[in-house]
Chain A
C-alpha cells in the first residue's frame, strides 16, 4: 500500500503555517526584500525571502529550529501525540544543504587568521544534524538520515521516507526539508551569476535568476495499519517517486532534460498514473534561465495541457527545503482544488513554448506531480494522489 500523508507542516516567507502559506499564495502578494538577518557587501541589495519574527534557542541552528517548527505543526495536524510516539517506530528523513555544512564564519575566520578558536561553534554545527535534532527532540526510535542532494534534497527525502513505509521499515516517517538563509550560499549563488537582482520571475521571458529563501516543511508519512490502529486520516498518498541523474554537468541541467524526463516518467509509472490524469504540476521553476527553459520544455513535451506553476516567486528558493515546501503545497492544492498563479511571471518565453499558470485557478483531478532539479544533475519527481 502506498504511504499515506497524514499530517503537514510548513513555514517560509509565504506564511508561518501551511494554511497561512496557502493564503499567501492565494493572495498573490509577495515580500522579497534585501536580507535583514544577514549582511553582505554586494553593491546590489539582492532580494531574499526570509521568515520574519522567528526566534530560536541558541544551541539550535536556525535550520534545525525551522524544521522543529514545521514538525510540530505536522504532528499536530496528524493528531500524533507522545503516547503514539512511544509505541510506534518512527523514522526521520530530512533534506538540507546548509544544515550539514561547515557554516560558522567567525570560527573559520579565526582559524584562518592563525588564532586558536574554541571548538564550540564547530561542535554546535555538527550537533545540529537536522534529522538527529528532530529525532532527539521527539524521542523517535526509527531510522534517521539527512539527504544532502542540493536543491532536490527535500523531494528525495520524502521519496526515501515513503519507501521506508512501503517496505514496512517504519510505522510513521517524518519526511521533509529545511534550510536557513545563509551568507555562504548567497555569496556562492551570486558568484555563479544566477541570482536575480529583482524579485524573481519563474518561467518569464525576462527572468534573470533566483532569489534565495528559507523555510521548512514536514510531511507525516504513515502506513495504512498505523493509520487504522490510531484512527488517523490520510490527506493524500505518495503514489510514486523517482530520481535520475543527468550525469552531464556540475551546475547546469542537461539541455534536453534527460534526467528529468526519466524521473517524471518513472514516477508516473510507479504511481500508475497517466500524464493526462494529473490535475497540475508544481514545478521547480527557480527563475534561472537554464532551469526554467529545460523544465518548461520537458513539461510541455511530456505533459501537454497539464497546468503547471512555480511558487518560488512567493517563497524564494529554499534549497534543501524547496522540495518539501512544494510537496506540502502540492498536497494542499490537490485537497483544495485550486492552484496559485506563478508570482513574477508576466511574459511567455518563446524558447519554452508553454506558460505557467498566471493566476489562481481551479483544477480537477486526483493526482499531482511535484518536480525538483538540482546541482549535480539530480532530478526528482513525486506523484501525490487523493487519499482513496
Chain B
C-alpha cells in the first residue's frame, strides 16, 4: 500500500522551512555558526549548523512555550512547518498519529536535571527538567499544542531512528490506526553533545542539529512524493539510485539523516528523479533504507 508525503517541515543550519532547504541545496553550501563548548582547556568554539527556533512564535503563542525546552521547540517548529506545507494548521488534529524519533533525546534538559541535584542535593531535583528530559516529552508537547489525539510514540535507534519512525508511520497508515501521521526526527546539539563531538572529531567535521518532519497520508492527490518502501534490518539490493547527503548544508551527525530524507523528497520534485533510495548504516545496530518516487 502506498503512503504519500504531503508536507515537509525542516529547521536547521540552513534556515527554516522546505523552501529554505531547497534554496540551500541549490546553492550547495551554507556557512555554519558555532557552539561554545566547555572543555578542560576552557571554552572552544565548535563550528556547527545550529537551528534557530525564533519563527516558532509565528505558530504557537509565547505563553504556551514557557516550559518547553530547546529540543521540543525544534520539534514543534518542524511539525508546524510540515503541517503548513501540507496545507493544514496546528490545532484540532483529531485522529492524527505522531511519531517522533531521536537518537540522543533531550540531552540539554537531562543535563539540566542532573545540574539541579548536583548543585543542591537530591531533594532539589528540578521537576520541570525531569519532565522535559523524558524522551517522549517533545512528542507530548506536540500532541497538546497541535491537538493531535491519535496514537503517539517516540522511538530511539541511533542514526536509524528516522527510518524506524517512517517504518512505523507506514504501518500505522496501512493498519488504519491514524488518518494521517506527523512523523519527524529531532536532534539537539547540546553542550555535552558538542563536547562529545569535539573529542571524537575535533573541528574537522561540522555537526548539525535540527528537526525534519513529514506529514504522511494515504491520499496521492497533491502529494510531494511517494514513500514506497522502508526497510530495517537486513536490506536487500535495490535498482533505485541511492540518494546523497549534504553536510555543507545541514552538517554531519544524527540530525543529518532526517534532512537527507527531506532533501531526497525535495530533489524528487525539483530534479525529476524517477526514484531515490537512501541507505543508512549504524555500526553495531544494523542498517535500513527508505525509497521514494
Contact = CB atoms under 8 A, between A and B. Distances in A.
A115 B157 contact: no
Contact of B130 (A115, A192, A243, A246): A192
B200 interface: yes
Given A129-B157, A376-B134, A143 B285 contact: no
Interface stretch (B21-29, B38-46, B80-88): B38-46
Specify which of B140, B156, B158 lies most central, judged by the most chain A CB atoms within 10 Å of its CB. Answer: B140
B284 A132 contact: yes
A129 B148 contact: no
Given A129-B156, A160-B168, A142 B234 contact: yes
A190 interface: yes
B195 A111 contact: yes
B133 interface: yes
Interface in A106-158: 108-109, 111-112, 114-116, 119, 122, 126-127, 129, 131-132, 135-136, 140-150, 156
B36 interface: no
Interface in B60-98: 67, 98
Contacts of A135: 285-286
Contact of A101 (B105, B144, B154, B233): B105
A377 B114 contact: no
Contact of B196 (A100, A122, A183): A122
B272 interface: no
A259 to B, nearest CB: 7
A219 interface: no
A122 B111 CA distance: 13
A375 B134 contact: yes
Contacts of B149: 244-247, 258-259, 262
B111 A245 contact: no
Interface string B128-166: 001101111101110110111111111111101000100
Given A41-B122, A163-B175, A376-B143, A245 B152 contact: yes
A116 B110 contact: no
Given A101-B110, A132-B158, A189-B130, 11 more contacts: A102-B110, A112-B115, A114-B38, A126-B104, A145-B232, A149-B154, A188-B125, A188-B130, A246-B143, A248-B144, A250-B137
A148 B136 contact: yes
Contacts of B192: 102, 108, 111, 122
Contact of B232 (A122, A143, A188, A191): A143
A376 B157 contact: no
A243 B175 CA distance: 13
B155 A147 contact: yes
A6 interface: no
Given A187-B125, A243-B151, A377-B144, A132 B136 contact: no
A109 B118 contact: yes
A372 interface: no
A26 interface: no
A332 interface: no
Interface in A351-375: 374-375
A374 B136 contact: yes
B111 A102 contact: yes
Contacts of B233: 89, 91, 140-144
A116 B39 contact: yes
B153 to A, nearest CB: 5
A346 B148 CA distance: 38
A136 B218 CA distance: 35
Interface of A: 40-43, 89, 91, 97, 100-102, 105, 108-109, 111-112, 114-116, 119, 122, 126-127, 129, 131-132, 135-136, 140-150, 156, 160, 163-164, 167, 183-184, 187-193, 242-251, 258-259, 262, 374-378
A194 to B, nearest CB: 10
Query: Across chains A and B, which 6 residue pairs bring their CB atoms closest together, nearest first?
Result: A116-B40, A376-B140, A188-B130, A148-B135, A143-B232, A187-B125
Nearest to B140: A376
25 contacts: A41-B122, A97-B135, A102-B105, A105-B114, A108-B111, A111-B192, A114-B40, A119-B196, A129-B158, A132-B157, A132-B158, A132-B282, A141-B233, A144-B286, A145-B232, A147-B155, A160-B153, A187-B113, A245-B143, A247-B146, A250-B137, A250-B140, A258-B149, A375-B137, A378-B153
A48 B140 CA distance: 27
Nearest to A136: B284
Given A43-B123, A191-B126, A150 B118 contact: no
Nearest to B126: A191
A164 B143 CA distance: 25
Contact of A148 (B67, B154, B158): B154
A100 B147 contact: no
Contacts of B274: none
A127 B201 CA distance: 18
A354 B130 CA distance: 33
Nearest to B147: A247
A244 B156 contact: no
A143 B167 contact: yes
Contacts of A191: 125-127, 130
Nearest to B199: A119
B48 to A, nearest CB: 18
Specify which of A89, A191, A258 lies most central, judged by the most chain B CB atoms within 10 Å of its CB. Answer: A191
Contacts of A248: 144
A85 to B, nearest CB: 13
A160 B157 CA distance: 15
A377 B154 CA distance: 12
B53 interface: no
Nearest to A142: B233
Nearest to A122: B196
A226 to B, nearest CB: 16
Contacts of B150: 244-245
